Amino acid sequence: MSGLTQAHSVVAPSTASRRISGAIVIVYAIITMLPLLWIFATGFKSQSDAIAYPPKVFADPSLQGYVNLFTTRSRQTPEYMASLPPPETWYDELVRKQNMVIVGPSKFGARFMNSLIIGFGSTFLAVFLGTLAAYAFSRFRIPLADDLMFFILSTRMMPPIAVAIPIYLMYRELGLSDTRLGMIILYTAVNVSLAVWLLKGFIDEIPREYEEAAMIDGYTRLQAFRKVVLPQAATGIAATAIFCLIFAWNEYAFAVLLTSGEAQTAPPFIPIIIGEGGMDWPAVAAGTTLFLIPIVVFTVLLRKHLLRGITFGAVRK
Amino acid sequence: MTDIPDRRTVAERVAAATPDGLARKVSGFSDRTIAWLFIGPTIALLLAINIFPLIWAVYLSFTNYAANKLNATVAWVGVRNYSRVLSDPDIWERMQATAHFVVWTIVLEVLLGFGLALLINRQFRGHSFWTTVVLLPMMLSPAVVGTFWKLLFQTQIGPFNYVVSFFTGIPPSSFDMVGSVALAPWSIVIVDAWMWTPYVMLICLAGLRSVPDYIYEAAEVDRASSWRTFWSITLPMVLPFLMLAVLFRAIENFKMFDMVALLTSGGPGSTTELASITLKREAFEKWRTGYSSAFAIILFVTIFGAANIYVKALNAVKNR
C-alpha cells in the first residue's frame, strides 16, 4: 500500500478513522471471547465456587474439574475413609477431601479417543476420495459435470436428522450401529462433498501446462497426477483435511443418534457429565476446554483458507 | 519443482523396468477411464450413504412403519403421513419458531457482520490478529457451545444475567433467558449470532476486498460523498457476497439441531422446538418413522426448492 500518495484518498482511510475502527473491533473481539474465558476459568474452579451465587469471577484455582472429568468416584462413610491408607497421588488426595474415593477411570478418555479415530479416519478417506474426484472434475471433460458437482453439493442440504432416520435403519441391518467403522463411513460421505468442492478450486489454480509438460516428457497421466499435481496441491489438501477434521470433531447430531457406547465421540458425552447434585460444571468446563484447544490451534493454522472452507470454495481471496 | 530432464530419466527408468504388456495395462489408461475411476468411488459412496437412504425415506414416508416395532406388518398408507404433517397445527407452530430463529439470526448476523467487515477493512494495526480472534466462535462445536451457554445463562450462577443487570439495573434473578417463554426464542438467537456473525463478516470482507481501488478513486474525483460512495459502490459490489452468506446461513439454521437441542432442548414447552428437534422427537422418541420420514422429505424439498430459487436471484444480482 502506498500510504503516502493516497493519504487523502477514500481508498486509504485516515489514521483517526483507522484507530477508531480498530478500537471497536477490539472491543467486539474481547466481548466475543468472554464466554470462552469464563468456561476456561470454570474448569479450574471447585464445584462450590463454580455454582457460587453471585458468580465468582476469581476463585482459588482447583483441579477438581479435571480430576472429576477423568475419574469415576464413589462417596464413602467417614469410618471407611479413616480406615484407608494415606493417599498415594495428588488426585487421590483431592478426591478424598470430598469424602470420596476414585473407583476407576471415567469414559472421557475413551470418548476422546473415539473422536480422534473417527475424525482422522474419515478425514483421510474423504480427502483421498475428494482429491481424485476433484482432479477428474478439474481436468477431464465429464458429461453432466455441473450436474454431478451440484449433486455432490446437494447431499449437504439434507437436515442431518432426516438422513439419520434411514441410516439408523440401514446400520441396524448391516450391524454398523454404534461402531467406529460406521461413523467413519458416514462422516466420510458427509465430508467428501466439501472435499471435492474445495479441492476442485485448489486444483483449478494449478496451471495445466505443468502436467502437459510432464506428459510430453514421457510421464503417464497418473504419474503426472502423482508427481506434479499432488505436490502442487499440498497446501490445499492440507487445508481441506483440517476442515474435514473439524467437521468430524464437532459433529453431534449423527453421533448422538447412531452411537451410544462403543463408538460414542466426545460431543455427545461432554453435555451429560453429571455430578452428585446435577451438572458437574467444572468437569463439563474442563472437558470443553480440552475439546476446544485443538480447534483453536487449527483455526490459527487455517486462517488464510477459512473463507474458502466455509463457502465450499465459492469465495476465494 | 524439480527440473524436467531429471523427471524424464525417472520416467524412463520406470518405463524400462516394467514389462511391455504390463506397462500398457498400468499406464495406458485413457483419460476417460481415469476420469471414471477417480469419480466413481465418490459417487458410489454418496449413492450408498445419501441417495439410497433418501429413496428409502421416501418409501417409508408412504407407510406406517415404526422402527421400534420390528415384527409389526408394514402397511402402505399412501399420502396420509403427508396430509397429517401438513394439517398438524403443531407442525406449523414449529415452523413459525424455525422462521423466527432463521430470520432474526440472519438480520443480526448481517448487520453485525457487515459492520465488522467495514471496520476490519480499514486495516488498522493488528487487524489480522484481531480478525482471527473474532473468527474463533464459528469453528467451535455447536453442541459444546449450546452446553456452555446453558451455564452462562443460568439465572443465579451464570454471568450473563449479571452483566445485563450491571448495564440495565434489572435484578439478575428476575429473568430467565432459557427457562421463560418470552426470552428463550431470543436466547438461541443471541447464541447463534455470537457464533456465526464472524462467518458473515468474513464473506463480506472478501466482498469489500474485491472492489478495485480505481472505482473509489473515480468516485473521489467526482467528489461523491462517502454516504453516496457506500450506497452506489460498496453495497452493490458486496451484495452478491452478502447474499451468498445469507444463503449458507439460512440453510444451516433451517436445519439447526445441535446447539438448540443442548441449550434449551426445545423448551420451555415447545417455544424453541425447531423443525429438526421436532423431527428427532417424532423419529427417535415417539418412533413414528413413517410420519417423521414424510416430515423430513417436506423439509428437504423446502430447503432444496428455496435454495434453487435463491441461487437464481443471486446469479441475477451477480450478472447485473
Model confidence pLDDT, tens digit, residues B77-97 = 888 899 998 998 989 999 999
Nearest-angstrom CA–CA distance, A174 and A158: 22
Asked if pLDDT for residue B3 goes beyond 60, the answer is no
- Do the chains contact at B203 and A218, CB–CB below 8 Å? no
| Structural domain of B25 | 4-60
Q: Which pLDDT does position B30 carry in this prediction?
A: 83
Q: Do B56 and B156 share a domain, yes or no?
A: no
φ/ψ region of A140 (left if φ > 0, alpha if ψ in -120 to 50, else beta) reads beta
Q: Do B271 and B202 share a domain, yes or no?
A: yes
Query: Domains (ranges, CATH) in chain A?
Result: 62-106 (no CATH), 109-272 (1.10.3720.10)
> What crossing angle do the helices spanning B89-120 and B127-135 adopt, rounded to 10°?
170
A234 touches chain B (CB under 8 A): no
Using an 8 Å CB-CB cutoff, list chain A residues near B209: 317
Q: Do B42 and B171 share a domain, yes or no?
A: no
Q: Do B108 and B236 share a domain, yes or no?
A: yes
Question: What residues form DSSP beta bridges with B76?
Answer: B63
For A234, list phi and psi in degrees, rounded to 5: -55, -45
Using an 8 Å CB-CB cutoff, list chain B residues near A298: 139
Model confidence pLDDT, tens digit, residues B85-136 = 899 898 999 999 999 999 999 999 999 999 999 999 888 888 888 888 898 8
- How far does chain B reach from its first CA to its final CA, in angstroms? 42
Q: Do B54 and B144 share a domain, yes or no?
A: no
A81 touches chain B (CB under 8 A): no
For A15, list phi and psi in degrees, rounded to 5: -60, -45
Q: Give the C-alpha distances (Å, rounded to integers) separating B184 from A4, A36, A101, B47, B272.
A: 52, 21, 40, 39, 7
* Segment B29-56 mean pLDDT: 89
CATH number for the domain that contains residue B173: 1.10.3720.10
Q: Do B93 and B186 share a domain, yes or no?
A: yes
Alpha helix segments (H runs only) across chain B: 4-17, 20-27, 31-46, 52-60, 80-87, 89-120, 127-135, 142-152, 159-168, 184-209, 213-221, 226-229, 235-254, 258-263, 275-284, 289-318
Strand, helix or coil at A197?
Answer: helix
A304: cell is 488464510
Please give the share of chain B, as a percent, with pLDDT higher than 70: 91
Q: Do B178 and B311 share a domain, yes or no?
A: yes
> What crossing angle do the helices spanning B89-120 and B275-284 adopt, rounded to 10°?
140
Q: Do B309 and B163 share a domain, yes or no?
A: yes
B71 in any annotated domain: no
Closest CB to B202: pick one of A158, A300, A306: A306
Question: What residues form DSSP beta bridges with A238?
Answer: none
What is the least distance, in Å, from the CA of A89 to any CA of chain B? 30
Q: Which pLDDT does position B307 carry in this prediction?
A: 86
Q: Do B55 and B107 share a domain, yes or no?
A: no
Closest CB to A129: pick one of B14, B45, B157: B45
- Do the chains contact at B46 and A246, CB–CB below 8 Å? no
B11 in any annotated domain: yes
Contact residues for B221 (Cβ-Cβ < 8 A; gap 6+) = none
Rounded-to-5 percentages of helix, strand, coil across chain A:
65, 5, 30
Number of domains, chain B: 2
Nearest-angstrom CA–CA distance, A102 and A68: 9
Q: Which pLDDT does position A11 carry in this prediction?
A: 57
Kindly report the pTM of this predicted structure: 0.86
ipTM of the complex: 0.85
Model confidence pLDDT, tens digit, residues A103-156 = 888 888 899 999 999 999 999 999 999 999 999 999 888 888 888 888 888 878
Using an 8 Å CB-CB cutoff, list chain A residues near B293: 165-166
Closest CB to B38: pick one of A132, A193, A271: A132
